[in-house]
Amino acid sequence: MKAIVTDNLAKMFGRLVAVDHISFEVEEGEIFGFLGANGAGKTSTIMMLATALNPSSGTATVCGYDIIRERDAVRESIGIVFEDLSLDTNLTGKENLDFHATLYHLPKKVKDERIAQALDLVELKEKQDILVKYYSGGMQRRLEIARGMLNSPRVLFLDEPTLGLDVQTRRLLWDYAKRLNQESGTTILLNTHYVEEADYLCNRVAILERGKIAAVDTPKGLKDSLGSSVLSIKFPEGALANEFASLLNGMSWIRNIRRHDGQLELSVGDKGMKIPEVVRLARQHGFVISAIGEHKPSLEDVFLHYVGKKLQSNEHE
């Protein structure tokens, strides 16, 4: 059975189309990621799957349960970590988990066991009696993940779980998420606008843009779709990029040409060094190249190919 199945799922807010008739499936035990900028429709998709929003049209099931007709069964099967912190900072870590577990009507013995296991998982057992307002941002995120696991969910939704965290803390949380997935078999649906996060964590990634799925595959499959390498070509004058692009159009070894900021990005399909060929072509037609480089396709290159604009970098926040 698939963990998640959607068919033409859509959400409109008045005239605004937040999610535009998307269809996708998530396998049990998979980490599936939505990669997209703010406003791409990632959160609206999760909120519909978690039964917090009703779809405008289309259907979806989570763990085999229909998100409209069987919403209680869906809620019993999932956990969720929201983009915005939702902890009570005037309670201790353990008190936050105890309150949440009580909402699931867990018997005391089961509740105590689940809380202990969750605190162990995120390595907060020694901090369980400290007020959450004294936790660091990373500790609070870890506690939210622990809270999302109290009902032993079959599917865990993570909506921008590392937003605003430093790089080191973010990587620690990635490792917690992987460990959770591997040890418990929990299916994870991750929303992120961090390219590195999607590349490191996800078995498959869907690129979401303006409510539509532009592409979906494994990170490797997405990168391989661009070819063997990407050439970056800079010119002393931006207008030259458009002229040189016209010259390159139709060449069999070029899969895609993208123009931005007065430079060209060429997706190269054939293996082998293409820089000399580009330089010779430029000289023959009187073009001056100020810089040229080559690199293996990255997931950011894929995103730029489909969407045409950069996401926020992990390293500059």
pTM for the whole structure: 0.85
Domain co-membership, 101 together with 183:
yes
CATH number for the domain spanning 250: value is 3.30.70.260
Domain co-membership, 135 together with 50:
yes
Sequential DSSP letters for the chain: --SEEEEEEEEEETTEEEEEEEEEEE-TT-EEEEE--TTSSHHHHHHHHTTSS--SEEEEEETTEETTTTHHHHHHHEEEE-SS----TTSBHHHHHHHHHHHTT--HHHHHHHHHHHHHHTT-GGGTTSBGGGS-HHHHHHHHHHHHTTT--SEEEEESTTTT--HHHHHHHHHHHHHHHHHH--EEEEEES-HHHHHHH-SEEEEEETTEEEEEE-HHHHHHTT-SEEEEEE-SSHHHHHHHHHHHTT-TTEEEEEEETTEEEEEE-S-S--HHHHHHHHHHTTPPPSEEEEE---HHHHHHHHH-SPPPPTT--
Domain co-membership, 33 together with 135:
yes
Task: Provide the pLDDT for residue 314.
Answer: 42
Domain co-membership, 142 together with 180:
yes
Domain co-membership, 134 together with 16:
yes
Which residues form the domain of 172? 4-218
**pLDDT per residue of the chain (317 residues) written in tens, 0 to 9:** 899 999 999 999 999 999 999 999 999 999 999 999 989 999 999 999 999 999 999 999 999 999 999 999 999 999 998 888 889 999 999 999 999 899 888 889 999 999 998 898 888 999 999 999 999 988 998 899 889 888 889 999 999 988 888 888 888 889 888 988 998 899 999 999 999 999 999 999 999 999 999 999 999 999 998 888 888 999 888 778 888 888 888 788 888 888 877 788 888 887 767 888 889 888 988 888 989 998 899 999 999 888 876 555 443 33
Each residue's pLDDT tens digit, 49-104: 999 999 999 999 999 999 999 999 999 999 998 888 889 999 999 999 999 899 88
CATH number for the domain spanning 18: value is 3.40.50.300
